[in-house]
Amino acid sequence: MTTLPDSARKVAEAAAALGLSIDMKLHEAATRTAEEAASACGCEIGQIVKSLVFRGAETGTPYLLLVSGRNRVDEAALAGAIGEHLRRPDGKDVRALTGFAIGGIPPFGHATRLFTIIDPDLLAFPLVWAAGGTPNTVFSVDPGRLAATIGARAMELKAQD
């Protein structure tokens, strides 16, 4: 295997520790956004997992939303389901919570425990691609296995547009 950056190795090791089979790829091109990742992977944008960190506006509880690359989060509707409004933490807080920088945040292997919600649209694909810890690493995984392994709750969260 080609040498992976430290952050990507951490993600690969976390997957192994969870017993989750993933295929980590280091790309020449940036995969910082869902569009870039889809282009590098040669997949549909809907198959890209966006890992978005929020905090509860009242409790400060950290939430990780795993969202299909083609969807936008309906924050108001999700707030209704969760029971509190959400706010976006800044990059520094996201790094403290996850151990990774925005653009490379993986769906697991974080520095702290994050209540995780997964977009049901991702579960319709046989395979999805998520950030592997850096802005040019992406890995593929079976979304159902990913959700079951990390205990992500499937919850409708997309805005209708």
For ligand 5CA, how many residues bind (rule: CB under 6 A)?
Answer: 21
Minimum distance of ligand 5CA from residue 47's CB (angstroms): 10
CA pair distance 27, 137, nearest whole angstrom: 6
What residue spans of the chain are helical by DSSP H? Answer: 6-18, 34-41, 75-82, 91-98, 120-123, 143-150
130 sits near ligand 5CA (criterion: CB under 6 A): yes
- Residue 137 · residue 129 · CB < 8 Å: no
Q: Which of residues 62-121 bind ligand 5CA (CB under 6 A)?
A: 88, 90-91, 94, 102-105
Options 52, 97, 128, 147; binder of ligand 5CA; rule CB under 6 A: 52
Q: Which is nearer to ligand 5CA, 104 or 143 (CB)?
A: 104
CA dihedral 67, 45, 7, 134 (to 10 degrees): -120
Q: Which is nearer to ligand 5CA, 88 or 153 (CB)?
A: 88
Cβ-closest position to ligand 5CA: 50
Cross-strand bridge partners of residue 67 = 50
The residue type found at 49 is V
What residue ranges bind ligand 5CA (CB under 6 A)? 31-34, 37, 48-52, 88, 90-91, 94, 102-105, 130-131, 138
